[in-house]
Amino acid sequence: MSNIGDADSRGVGGPYVVSLRDPTATNRALVGGKGANLARLVEAGLPVPDGFCVTTVAYWELVDDELVNELRDDLLDLDPADTERITDVGSSLRARINALDVPTPIQEAIEDALADIESESETETAYAVRSSATAEDLPDASFAGQQETFLNVQGIDEIVDSVRACMASLFTNRAISYRTKNGISHENVALSVVVQQMVTPSISGILFTADPTSGNRRIAAIEAVLGLGEALVSGETAADAVRVDTPTGDIIDYQIGDQRMAVRPRSEGGVETVELSAAERSNRVLTDEQVRTLVELGTKIQTLFGYPQDIEWCLEDGKIQVVQSRPITSLFPLPTPEPTDDRLHVYYSLGHAQAFAEALPPLVRDVWMSYTETTFEAFGFDGRGPWGVEAGGRVYMDATNLLRIRVLRNLVPKQLAATSEPMGAAMEAILERRSEEFHPDRSLIETLAATPTLVRRTWRGLTASQPLLSAMTNGLLGAFVETPASPEHEEEKWTVWGQEIASQVREQETPAERVRTVFDLLDVAIDFPPTGPLLGAFVAGEVLEGMFPDAPEDVNAVGRGFPKEVVTRINLGLGDLADIARDNPSVAAALREGASIDAIESLEGGEEFRAELDRFLDEFGHRATGEIDVSRPRWREDPSVLLATIRANLNHAETGEHHKHVRQMEQEALAAAERLEQRAGRGLLGPLRRRVTRRLIRTYRGYIQTREYPKQGAAHMFAAWREAFRDAGDMLVTEGHLDDPTDVWFLRINELLTALEGESISVDIAARRVEFKHHKSIDAPPVLTSEGEAPRGEIDRGDVPEGSLVGTGVSGGVVEGIARVIRDPTEETIEKGEILVAPSSDPGWTPLFLNAAGMVVEVGGRMSHGALVAREYGIPAVVSVPEATHEIKTGQRVRIDGTRGLVQIIDG
């Protein structure tokens, strides 16, 4: 058994069997993830049943078969959603491997290993035979339960058969699908088999060294059952559930499960399920001392591996045995940098606040981390950071110091709730549960006295724009003093602001100077124009909602029909382009075939179409989907999303329909305004209420159409930032520092500046791309603590139909339709009458609203872009629906209730 050699990727030259006590057994390529982890536990002196691994060398020799190779090749181009094909190929592979004879040298090596173990035992030994794949038990892919396990196996023939069956189980349907989804090669993955002395436990269970539900790294979670742990894995019984405060060892709660059944070994081999007595079902499985012993053991194991662990354990004759340990892959990463004050910190997601919760590449994260620090310093909070941290490829802002200010502590959750209801609820939940962690450092007056910059900037924001004070005062008192500033004036103000910053970046001579200027001008970027008009609209809207709680449809309707509003102009421009294509059949045909702009221009009517597109891009070409991610191309660089929308419009709309829609919305708004005024005019104070209502509506309609002007202006700045970094990437490729211009997005800012100064850098771009891909695949919580907890607050929705997805209703009405899940609008579009299901809905998604009958979005709030546009277009919408793009599938029929915030999957 000790014929150890160096095995290559196919195991050539290595041993067939290694003991768990052998140092070689820590080699993952040789013994797989499960085997390597067990060997490390043995090496560390932790309690593990004695055993050995049948290595990947044996696996490769067993499957060295022409038919197996042919069938494995059939897996290369499989679609993970093609379950029928996966089932066919997987079944054939398993059948073929199970039909192969295990080579005699492998059988002999297994017999020798069994003899070594049994020489120390007075009785015949039973064994647990478990699969151990080379691609399992990784930090970001566990493969838990993908392959076979056999318990209480007795006799050499049964053990050899079980080993072969485990190796064949590398191709279970679940394992094939899982590898395909995670981009893991079927050709290179191999399977070892762990063979251990069978433990006959009185109690078994799982220990999580971090709470897998909340993510809190300070809480350990235990599940325990009588007998073998298979009852827990199979879900045949309800386990005892324990939560423990790891640092103190205090048991937070212990819930006794209703354990009606237990799995136990049979004398002749295998296992059986037995019924438990009433007394066994009602008693606690674990004592307090056993719980604390488990947690202490878990802490040692986590320290050994350096990452929170999912540990399978057994209790036999009062002694704990560990039979498996693997990383908890479901945990969202901890925020970094970690706080240095040993206090609980609470962070909220910058992406959720912007209704864009997707992962950002490293360089973009650095931009927003720097922007966050500059913002807080500008408001007088310097020296108490860092204010920005990152986790899971996202940027989070530290709210802890704000929460320690007595007045702001109550205000912060309410303000966050206005942006994202789940975010506000989560912040409220952590404040309520951990209130003692947020003793006020200073009162608001003390804070303001110590931060004159905050006072000055706050006061300027309120007073520099007289329309805000007028909207609040005159709107409420019914006075008629002034007319809201024109939309043209507001747009020009924001456009000039954004373009001036963009010009200062672009006018620098070299890429290095442009990159430095991006960061040098961050203090200018946060010095944005007064936001009075926009705030005035929100104030007027809130007052209207309070005055007319029984007429939400009419209140929503008065915010529709604005031909000069940015989003409306975008959609009108795209509609005009579709009309030009309709009038020119050759252009329409080319668009349907996906022709390039250059090809279209050469066709009859193509020059007119190109000229109109150029006019559109002159005005809106600096916008993009997910535009706070400056690594993403702007529409001017890649107009494919626009062409896709025009193509969809061609198939379903009629000439001029988009203009008719806006006029209809405007007429509905005026009619709704008249109805509200009539309601207000009733009763003794009717005339006064009517004047107030008319003024509020005038203010609201005058200002709400300016809501997108700040983003329209900021997008000029974002476009210039992108150009600076893109040009730097081009230069670094020319100078040999990078292989691909897009590699620049995977540098940190200090690395980029070093390379731009001509110095060499050593960065594993490929590894960072893999990490970014992983970050993109995980959902980020809106609120996160320094302990890793993702708190969730309860939002009362009343009676909710079973199976409903619950979110925030932001545009009233009920609609049914076929769902279209779109994660990237540059690659997909929506057909007329479909329900748009999306991860976010920033302005880059605007073109898709032309055809949508309703909208479901994973993030956002009542004032997010998607919510405002949905209300203007009169389509029901629900936002902040967790994992909507995973729960809902394209083609399913769904019902949206935009008033109650509910989404139901009807069929499909």
Query: Average of pLDDT values for 255-264?
Result: 83
Which pLDDT value is given to residue 42?
97
**Contact predicate 860/810, CB 8 Å:** yes
Q: Supply the angle between the helices 288-305 and 28-43 in degrees, to the nearest 10.
A: 130
Q: Of the ranges 88-97, 126-135, 286-295, 463-472, which is most confident?
A: 286-295
Condensed to tens digits (0 to 9), the pLDDT of residues 476-509 reads: 333 333 445 577 888 899 999 999 999 999 999 9
Q: What is the dihedral of CA 708, 709, 715, 720, to 10 degrees?
A: 180
Q: Please report which confidence band the pLDDT of residue 34 belongs to, taking 50, 70 and 90 as the band edges.
A: very high
**Contact predicate 384/424, CB 8 Å:** no
Q: Of the ranges 40-44, 176-180, 452-456, which is most confident?
A: 40-44
Which pLDDT value is given to residue 79?
77
Residue 274 confidence (pLDDT) above 70:
yes
Question: CA-CA distance, 277 to 697, in Å (whole number)?
Answer: 70
Residue 799 confidence (pLDDT) above 60:
yes
pTM, two decimal places: 0.84
Condensed to tens digits (0 to 9), the pLDDT of residues 676-700 reads: 999 998 888 889 989 999 989 988 8
Q: Please, where are the H alpha helices in 237-287?
A: 278-282
Surface-to-core class of residue 271, CB atoms within 10 Å of its CB (0-12 exposed, 13-18 middle, 19+ buried): middle
Nearest to 315 by CA among 280, 279, 291, 282: 291
Give DSSP secondary structure letters for 615-655: HHHHHHTT--TTTTSTTSPPTTT-THHHHHHHHHHHHH--T
Tokens of 651: 């198939």
**Which strand ranges, in their side-by-side order, compose the sheet holding 893-897?**
805-806, 902-907, 893-897, 814-821, 835-838, 854-857, 877-879, 808-811
Residue 718, amino acid: F
Give the H/E segment covering residue 255: strand 250-255
Residue 475 confidence (pLDDT) above 50:
no
Query: Average of pLDDT values for 296-310?
Result: 96
Condensed to tens digits (0 to 9), the pLDDT of residues 216-259 reads: 999 999 999 988 877 676 666 788 999 999 999 999 999 998 88
Nearest to 53 by CA among 119, 120, 1: 1
Count Cα atoms within 13 angstroms, Cβ side, for 51: 31
Distances (CA, A) of 126 to 117, 170, 226: 11, 24, 20
Tokens of 672: 């709704």
Note if 439 is an active site residue: no
Token look-up 């691909």 returns: 740
**Contact predicate 493/706, CB 8 Å:** no
Q: Are strands 893-897 and 902-907 parallel, antiparallel or unpaired?
A: antiparallel
Options 345, 737, 775, 865, the catalytic residue: 865
**Contact predicate 801/812, CB 8 Å:** no
Q: Which of 276-280, 356-360, 803-807, 832-836 has the lowest mean pLDDT?
A: 276-280
Question: CA-CA distance, 327 to 136, in Å (whole number)?
Answer: 10
Question: CA-CA distance, 53 to 541, in Å (whole number)?
Answer: 69
Question: CA-CA distance, 61 to 14, in Å (whole number)?
Answer: 11
Peptide bond into 386 cis (omega under 30): yes
Residue 6 confidence (pLDDT) above 80:
no
Nearest to 429 by CA among 809, 880, 795: 795
Residue 452 confidence (pLDDT) above 60:
no
Query: Average of pLDDT values for 589-598?
Result: 91
Surface-to-core class of residue 736, CB atoms within 10 Å of its CB (0-12 exposed, 13-18 middle, 19+ buried): exposed
Distances (CA, A) of 762 to 20, 261, 734, 738, 766: 37, 57, 17, 10, 12
Condensed to tens digits (0 to 9), the pLDDT of residues 782-791 reads: 999 999 999 9
Token look-up 């005159």 returns: 474
Mean pLDDT of the chain: 86
C-alpha 189 chain-centroid distance: 28
Q: Please, where are the H alpha helices in 621-738?
A: 640-652, 657-680, 686-704, 709-734
Question: CA-CA distance, 807 to 422, in Å (whole number)?
Answer: 8
**175 contact partners, CB below 8 Å, separation of at least 6:** 133, 143, 146, 147, 169
Which pLDDT value is given to residue 1?
39
Residue 696, amino acid: L
Condensed to tens digits (0 to 9), the pLDDT of residues 48-78 reads: 999 999 999 999 999 999 998 888 888 877 7
Which pLDDT value is given to residue 561?
87
